[in-house]
């Protein structure tokens, strides 16, 4: 079965280059009408020009596809609303949203101006929330939507000098986990990609010899699957890069429950620390409620 997007409309943010460009070109080549969004600023988010988005939209049209360019900033809720409105005005619907836009302002927290912390969070996390919120009613009306968030190994596991970026990227996982609950009844499915690719954002972080193996086109097939009708999963996190794909999960160990009738002390935790941190038999939870119920379903230890 060929995965195609005929009749579908996709909005891809940060699509003026790198991963976003690759995603937009692929979706268009498979039949989607695409809105190419990119502020066109510097790596740190300064400045702006519609030229980057226009170039990619031109590429799509030159290949026989349909596309429009959009130079709005995802970090502005009004701009996000205008972006979605422009999509609906041009194509009459919105089926697919790929939240890919991002910036970097790397420094250790001790040396970072907190304005730089806020700006990175506003683009990655708030920007994804703003555009998703604007797109939601159009998807809900048609009872169909496919949304992709873009996290990072820095958010999942941490990275020196990227506290702002890491916080925003893990925040996207929390956003996805809530929206998978809210979207399911409307057939709006939301998943997250954790890409490893050689782009403008990573060229100083990855070895130059990895450029060919880690080209953005090696990540796009996963995003394309998440954007398709063939995908029936919601709430998945998958790492992708260089032809490697792996599911990522947040799991909880079996744990240890003390007798709630007895006073608890830190010494008791120290004594049972091995059991508390034992990850054998670890399992994920589908929702926060499921995790809370685990507390009541676990028998307390007896002295």
Task: Indicate if 43 and 184 belong to the same structural domain.
Answer: yes
Last residue in a domain, options 225, 248, 271: 248
State pLDDT tens for residues 31-87: 999 999 999 866 656 666 688 999 999 999 999 999 999 999 999 999 999 999 999
Residues 6 or more apart whose CB falls under 8 angstroms from that of 275 comprise 255, 256
Report the domain count for the chain.
2
Q: Which of 8-22, 42-56, 237-251 has the lowest mean pLDDT?
A: 42-56
Per-residue model confidence (pLDDT) at position 84? 98
Residue 302 lies in a domain: yes
Percent of the chain with pLDDT over 70: 91
Cβ count near 189 (within 10 Å): 24
Tell me the pTM: 0.91
Burial of 28 (C-beta count, 10 Å sphere; 0-12/13-18/19+): buried
Task: Indicate if 301 and 217 belong to the same structural domain.
Answer: no
User: DSSP secondary structure string, 89-124?
Assistant: HHHS---EEE--------B-GGG--HHHHHHHHIII
pLDDT at residue 153 tops 80? yes
Residue 33 lies in a domain: yes
State pLDDT tens for residues 71-122: 999 999 999 999 999 999 999 999 999 999 999 898 999 999 999 999 999 9
As separate numbers, helices (DSSP H) first and strands (DSSP E) second, the chain gives 11, 8
Cβ count near 244 (within 10 Å): 10
Q: Which residues are catalytic?
A: 165
Q: Look up the CATH number of the domain holding residue 18.
A: 3.40.50.720
SS3 209: helix
């Amino acid at each position: 079965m060929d995965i195609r997007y005929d009749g579908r409309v996709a909005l891809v943010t940060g699509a003026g280059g790198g991963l976003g460009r690759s995603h937009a070109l692929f979706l268009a080549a498979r039949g989607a009408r695409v809105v190419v969004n990119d502020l066109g600023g510097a790596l740190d988010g300064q400045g702006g020009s519609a030229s980057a988005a226009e170039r990619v939209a031109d590429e799509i049209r030159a290949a026989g596809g349909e596309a429009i360019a959009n130079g709005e900033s995802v970090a502005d809720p009004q701009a996000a609303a205008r972006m979605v409105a422009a999509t609906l005005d041009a194509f009459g619907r919105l089926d697919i949203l790929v939240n890919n836009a991002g910036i970097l302002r790397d420094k250790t927290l001790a040396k970072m101006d907190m304005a730089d912390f806020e700006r990175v969070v506003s683009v990655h996390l708030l920007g994804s929330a703003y555009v998703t919120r604007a797109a939601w009613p159009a998807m809900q009306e048609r009872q169909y939507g496919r949304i992709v968030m873009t996290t990072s190994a820095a958010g999942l596991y941490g990275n020196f000098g990227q506290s702002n970026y890491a916080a925003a990227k893990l925040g996207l996982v929390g956003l996805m986990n809530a929206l998978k609950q809210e979207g399911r009844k409307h057939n709006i499915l939301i998943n997250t990609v954790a890409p490893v690719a050689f782009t403008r954002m990573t060229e100083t972080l990855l070895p130059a010899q990895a450029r060919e193996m880690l080209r953005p086109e090696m990540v796009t097939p996963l995003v394309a699957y998440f954007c398709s009708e063939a995908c029936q999963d919601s709430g998945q996190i998958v790492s992708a890069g260089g032809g490697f794909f792996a599911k990522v999960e947040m799991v909880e160990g079996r744990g240890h429950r003390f007798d709630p009738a007895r006073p608890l002390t830190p010494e008791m935790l120290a004594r049972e620390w091995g059991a508390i941190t034992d990850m054998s038999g670890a399992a994920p939870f589908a929702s926060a409620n499921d995790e809370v119920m685990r507390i009541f379903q676990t028998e307390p230890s007896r002295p």
